[in-house]
């Protein structure tokens, strides 16, 4: 399945004969350190010792006799590791879903060449659910390794200077969670439906489920809010709270007569319903008890960034670090609990230093906004520059500070082009994995642009040298350069490195 000159197939054409090998994606496929990536990632897929089976290194009575491995004919063979890694890169680089990336992979020979295939395969590489399991096995350490390798490739191809990695821009944004807008009426109706479902699964018979009345009350509350009839809206929400409270108390009474295991299964649903019922009765959250904004995603925070259009955003705060020149992302991390921006700077710079350790670089200067004030003592090894220090920084740093705004379009591209606008992965772990994978997809797209730009610059220099050797008049040089820029504008996407 992989490109090998010793496995020529007479009846099939090789992918490298079907595609333009000068395309940036084909060039990047040959420049990525695939073997190194697989070696570093493969450790999380190593076979673990099972409980009750003595391991040779840990047994006090000597090495155990190893069982003969008998291959099983049941099940399909595993998908090659390079294909799974390439699918994650391609998904976030080209803004595809799990289902979309495997479908598009089957129709795109260039993607299959990037994944290491020698011959075109008119089939999907795996089921979309396999990507879910693969992400969970990778973990946060594995996806950070994928992001680190994109930084290494940028340095090895000389697309960015290593000294540029020492100056970074750090900012934060909100990664939205895939939840509906959390209104009290919607949350109370969800709590009612989930309580009825949990009681049915536990075998608890309810006198009344309030299904018809609950849906009608949710509809009325939304219409009253739209018509700004807030007294009627509050009466509808009060009736919803009464219904949820009655169901909760009935389940608690009848659950006392059943087994402890069933009561434990009902405990999560009852606690969530109690939180929603209590928070809908008061305007502010209770001390030490954050509000619940989604039944299936209790980790969601309400974050206010001071925007006029979206005053409140529901998700998780994500810190992003990019280079001052070049706009390459060198670190991304999700921070739950809505911390102060300055308190996230230390962890963000620490992650960036770990990801850049193969390039023997670490952040020395951080350009930030005013949200990161007052944390100089927590980061003694990093020089923090923001406009609040305009009288204490040099003239050169004052000029470089104007580049801080360059991270804003990077955040915009992460959300619109690389799937950071809405996270569908489950739990806090899903938020952390999604943030890092979005940055890895951005860096892949960045590498493709830089490869095409470097090829155009090389061809421009060669063409102008040939014009000078041909003895053309100097007055024709600007016209030739303009014509060359126009001619190479579209084909620049399929030119290779020199």
Six token digits for residue 136: 């969970």
Helix H or strand E segment including 314:
strand 313-323
Say how many C-beta atoms besides its own lie within 10 A of residue 483's C-beta: 12
3-state DSSP helix/strand/coil percent for the chain, to nearest 5? 55, 10, 35
Phi, psi of 251 (to 5 degrees): -65, -40
Q: What are the extents of the domains in the chain?
A: 162-179+301-424, 184-280, 452-494
* Residues forming beta bridges with residue 222, ordered by sequence position: none
C-alpha distances in Å from residue 143, one per residue of 140, 350, 439, 460, 491: 5, 16, 10, 38, 33
Residue in this structure with the two tokens 């895939």, named with its chain if needed: 178
Quote the CA–CA distance of 347 and 51 in Å, as a whole number. 36
Quote the CA–CA distance of 440 and 129 in Å, as a whole number. 21
Sign of the four-CA dihedral 85, 353, 363, 434: positive
Report the 3 state secondary structure along 268-309: HHHHHHHHHHHHHCCCCCCCCCCCCCCCCCCCCEEECCCCCC
Six token digits for residue 448: 């493709």
Quote the CA–CA distance of 282 and 276 in Å, as a whole number. 10
Q: What residues have CB less than 8 Å from 145, skipping those under 6 apart?
A: 37, 40, 41
Burial readout 276-314 (b: 16 or more C-beta within 10 A, e: otherwise)? bbebbeeeeeeeeebbbbbbebbbbbebeeeeeeeeebb
| DSSP letters spanning 56-86 | TTT-TT-PPPPPPP----SSPPPPPHHHHHH
Q: What is the pLDDT along the chain (498 residues), one digit of tens a residue?
A: 444 454 567 777 889 989 999 899 999 999 999 999 999 888 777 655 445 444 455 444 444 445 555 666 667 778 899 999 999 999 999 999 999 999 999 999 999 999 999 999 999 999 999 999 999 999 999 999 999 999 999 999 999 999 999 999 999 999 999 999 999 999 999 999 999 999 998 888 999 999 999 999 999 999 999 999 999 999 999 999 999 999 999 999 888 777 677 777 788 999 999 999 999 988 777 666 789 999 999 999 999 988 888 899 999 999 999 999 999 999 999 999 999 999 999 999 999 999 999 998 999 999 999 999 999 999 999 999 999 998 889 999 999 999 999 999 999 999 999 999 999 999 999 999 999 999 999 999 999 999 998 876 655 566 556 666 666 555 555 655 565 555 545 444 444 443
By the 8 A CB rule, do 297 and 179 touch?
A: yes
By the 8 A CB rule, do 403 and 325 touch?
A: yes
By the 8 A CB rule, do 88 and 440 touch?
A: yes
Say how many C-beta atoms besides its own lie within 10 A of residue 394's C-beta: 9
User: Which of 162, 169, 158 is closest to 453 using CA atoms?
Assistant: 158
Quote the CA–CA distance of 486 and 60 in Å, as a whole number. 74
């Amino acid at each position: 399945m992989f490109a090998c000159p010793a496995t020529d197939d007479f009846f099939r054409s090789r992918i490298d004969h079907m595609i333009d090998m000068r395309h940036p994606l084909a060039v990047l496929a040959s420049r990525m350190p695939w073997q190194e990536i697989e070696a570093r990632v493969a450790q999380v897929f190593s076979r673990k010792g099972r409980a009750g089976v003595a391991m040779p290194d840990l047994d006090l009575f000597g090495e155990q006799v190893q069982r003969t491995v008998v291959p099983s004919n049941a099940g399909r063979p595993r998908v090659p590791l390079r294909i799974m890694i390439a699918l994650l890169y391609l998904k976030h680089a080209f803004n595809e879903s799990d289902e979309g990336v495997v479908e598009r992979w089957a129709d795109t020979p260039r993607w299959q060449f990037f994944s290491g295939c020698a011959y075109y395969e008119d089939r999907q590489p795996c089921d979309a659910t396999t990507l879910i399991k693969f992400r969970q096995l990778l973990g946060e350490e594995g996806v950070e390794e994928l992001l680190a390798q994109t930084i290494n490739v940028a340095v090895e191809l000389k697309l960015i200077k290593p000294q540029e990695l020492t100056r970074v821009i750090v900012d934060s944004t909100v990664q939205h969670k895939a939840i509906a807008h959390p209104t009290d009426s919607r949350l109370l109706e969800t709590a009612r439906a989930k309580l009825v479902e949990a009681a049915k699964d536990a075998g608890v018979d309810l006198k009344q489920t309030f299904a018809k009345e609950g849906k009608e009350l949710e509809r009325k509350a939304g219409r009253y809010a739209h018509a700004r009839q807030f007294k009627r809206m509050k009466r509808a929400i009060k009736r919803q709270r009464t219904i949820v409270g009655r169901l909760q108390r009935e389940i608690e009474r009848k659950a006392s007569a059943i087994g402890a295991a069933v009561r434990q299964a009902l405990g999560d649903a009852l606690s969530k319903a109690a939180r929603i019922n209590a928070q809908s009765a008061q305007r502010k959250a209770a001390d030490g008890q954050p509000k619940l904004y989604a039944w299936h995603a209790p980790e969601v925070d309400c974050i206010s960034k001071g925007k006029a259009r979206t005053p409140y955003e529901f998700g998780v705060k994500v810190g992003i670090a990019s280079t001052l020149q070049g706009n390459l992302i060198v670190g991304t991390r999700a921070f739950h609990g809505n911390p102060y921006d300055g308190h996230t700077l230390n962890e963000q710079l620490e992650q960036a230093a770990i990801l850049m350790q193969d390039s023997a670089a670490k952040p020395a200067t951080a350009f930030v906004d005013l949200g990161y004030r007052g944390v100089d003592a927590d980061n003694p090894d990093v020089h923090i520059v923001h406009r609040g220090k305009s009288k204490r920084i040099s003239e050169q740093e004052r000029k470089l500070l104007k580049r801080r705004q360059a991270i804003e379009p990077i955040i915009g591209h992460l959300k619109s082009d690389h799937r950071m606008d809405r996270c569908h992965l489950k739990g806090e772990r899903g938020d952390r994995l999604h943030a890092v994978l979005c940055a890895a997809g951005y860096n892949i797209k960045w590498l493709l642009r830089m490869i095409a730009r470097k090829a155009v610059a090389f061809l421009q220099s060669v063409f102008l040298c040939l014009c000078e050797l041909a003895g053309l008049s100097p007055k024709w040089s600007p016209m030739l350069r303009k014509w060359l820029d126009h001619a190479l504008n579209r084909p620049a996407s399929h030119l290779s490195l020199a």
